[in-house]
Structures are given as C-alpha cells and as structure tokens.
C-alpha cells in the first residue's frame, strides 16, 4: 500500500516493489495518476496492482481505499504512508486554512493510513512493516524559512513513528521513517516560481554535500529496504537519505 503513489517517491516505491513481484495498491488524490501508476506497476512485474483515488485527510476515503485494496489484493503486509503537501508561509501571515490543510494531509493522513494498515495487520495476525515519510525539517529549520506548518507536520510524523514502533513491536509489526532530502519531485518545487527554479537548483547543489538533488528512486530504495525482511530487526528508526544535509553545520565557512 503506497499513498501519494501517483508521482515522485511514492511512484518510485511502487515500481521497485512491482519489480520484485509484489501486489501493489497505489493511492493518490489524483485518481488518474493512481491508475496510471498501477498500470505501470503491472507492466513492471507486479503480481497484481490497483489504483485508488484517495484523500488521506478524509477518514472515510482512507477506509474505503483500504477496503477496496483488501478485497482485490488481500491483507496488506507493508504500507508506505507518504502522501504530503507543502504550503509555505511565515506563521504570523499563515492562514488557519493553510495550516490545517498541511497538518490534515501530512500528519492526519499518516495517522489514518497507519490506523487502517495496523487494523488489517492485527486482524490477520500479519507481522508487517510500515514506513512513513518524514523530513530533515522534523529536526532542523529550513534556512529559507516560512516552513512552520510543514516542519510541524513532519516533526509530528517522527514522534508518531517512535510511538507506533514501541506500541506494535510485540505484534511483530515494524514502523520506521525515511528522511529524504532535496529530491527531484513536484513537491520539491511546490513553493518556487518556475523562473526561479534554475537558480534555486544551483544553490541547493552548492549546499548539499553530495552536490546534487536525489532522484526519486534513491530514497525509494531506502523505503523498499525498510519494507523488506532485510531490515527485520529495524524498528523505530529514521533512515536518512538526504545527501548529507543533516550532517552539515549550517554556517557555510
């Protein structure tokens, strides 16, 4: 089960899981993108694939999506709670509606995805794996600023991952987070004017120790490892895949 699977890191995870023969449910608020990703997963080698339009901020939508996936694919053993948005703004200027939309999608969306994944796993006695998308913004403030809502949502996800890991370890259910850095996705440029993108990309590449943005497949490989039995003794962790951002002091001298 992959939320936000119609594009970016979510789609890359779906394709990597498909290549190893998994059955894939792709959830996305864009139903066409979800369907296209499911079709691509089948072409890549998925045992079965289903695309579902789903708004992760709405419990009824998430419940129906999980019900449809279970009916078509069976009980899930792995979930990637990944859907998210970024709407910037300094806090004194940020509307309540924008704050709520970011928290509802990013944090409540992860809660709902995990809630229904856990219910299925517990009901079936499945020892599964859940991975949530956090961010360096959960640990440090972005130098450009105006990311209070996004940072708060990702900090909440990181705290929730630790709690779920402890709560569900006794059932054999592992819960971890991936922490992607600057990645070439639509979300990366959500608050950047197209005309400013070349200069922004240049500046990011100067600041990231590895000197470039990640492709979506790079953090996706970290997610697939956390979903697999190769990480069978890993829970409550944050797998950082950020090109060295969090390892670097903020002063560039």
pLDDT at 144: 82
96 is catalytic: no
| Long-range CB contacts (within 8 A, 24+) of 71-75 | 72/25, 72/48, 73/23, 73/24, 73/25, 73/48, 74/23, 75/120, 75/121, 75/123, 75/124, 75/126
Structural domains of the chain in order of their starting residue, each with its CATH number: 2-241 (3.40.50.720)
pLDDT for position 8: 97
pLDDT of residue 188: 80
pLDDT in tens, 92-101: 999 999 999 9
Residue 253's pLDDT is 61
> Per residue in 24-53, pLDDT tens?
999 999 999 999 999 999 999 999 999 999
State residue 88's pLDDT score: 84
Query: For position 3, what pLDDT does the model report?
Result: 98
User: Residue 142's pLDDT is what?
Assistant: 87
Cα radius of gyration rounded to whole Å, the chain: 18
Which three-class secondary structure state does DSSP give residue 246?
coil
**DSSP 3-state assignment of 160?**
helix
Q: What pLDDT, on a 0 to 100 scale, did the predictor assign at position 252?
A: 65
**Inter-axis angle of helices 109-124 and 148-168, nearest 10:** 10
For each of the chain's 253 residues, which pLDDT tens digit applies? 999 999 999 999 999 999 999 999 999 999 999 999 999 999 999 999 999 999 999 999 999 999 999 999 999 999 999 999 999 899 999 999 999 999 999 999 999 999 999 999 999 999 999 999 999 999 999 888 889 999 999 999 999 999 999 999 999 999 999 999 999 988 787 777 888 888 888 988 999 999 999 999 999 999 999 999 999 999 999 999 999 999 997 766 6
pLDDT of residue 189: 78
Q: Which of 111, 116, 150, 168 is catalytic?
A: 150
């Amino acid at each position: 089960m992959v939320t936000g699977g119609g594009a970016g890191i979510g789609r890359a995870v779906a394709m990597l899981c498909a290549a190893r023969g998994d059955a894939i449910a792709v959830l996305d608020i864009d139903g066409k993108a979800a369907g296209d990703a499911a079709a691509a997963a089948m072409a890549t080698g998925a045992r079965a694939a289903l695309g579902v339009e789903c708004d992760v901020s709405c419990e009824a939508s998430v419940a129906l999506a999980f019900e449809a996936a279970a009916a078509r694919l069976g009980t899930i053993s792995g979930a990637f709670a990944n859907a998210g948005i970024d709407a910037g703004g300094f806090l004194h200027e940020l509307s309540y509606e924008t704050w709520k939309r970011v928290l509802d999608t990013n944090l409540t969306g992860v809660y709902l995805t995990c809630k229904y994944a856990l219910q299925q796993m517990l009901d079936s006695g499945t020892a599964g794996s859940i991975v949530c998308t956090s961010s360096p913004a959960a640990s440090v403030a972005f130098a450009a600023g105006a990311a209070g809502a996004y940072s708060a949502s990702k900090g909440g996800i990181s705290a929730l991952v630790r709690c779920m890991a402890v709560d569900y370890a006794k059932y054999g259910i592992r819960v971890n987070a991936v922490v992607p850095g600057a990645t070439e996705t639509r979300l990366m440029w959500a608050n950047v004017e197209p005309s400013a993108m070349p200069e922004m990309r240049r500046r990011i590449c100067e600041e990231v120790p590895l000197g470039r943005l990640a492709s979506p497949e790079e953090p996706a490989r970290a997610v697939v490892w956390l979903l697999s039995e190769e990480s069978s003794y890993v829970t409550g962790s944050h797998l950082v895949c950020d090109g060295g951002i969090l390892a670097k002091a903020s002063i560039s001298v």
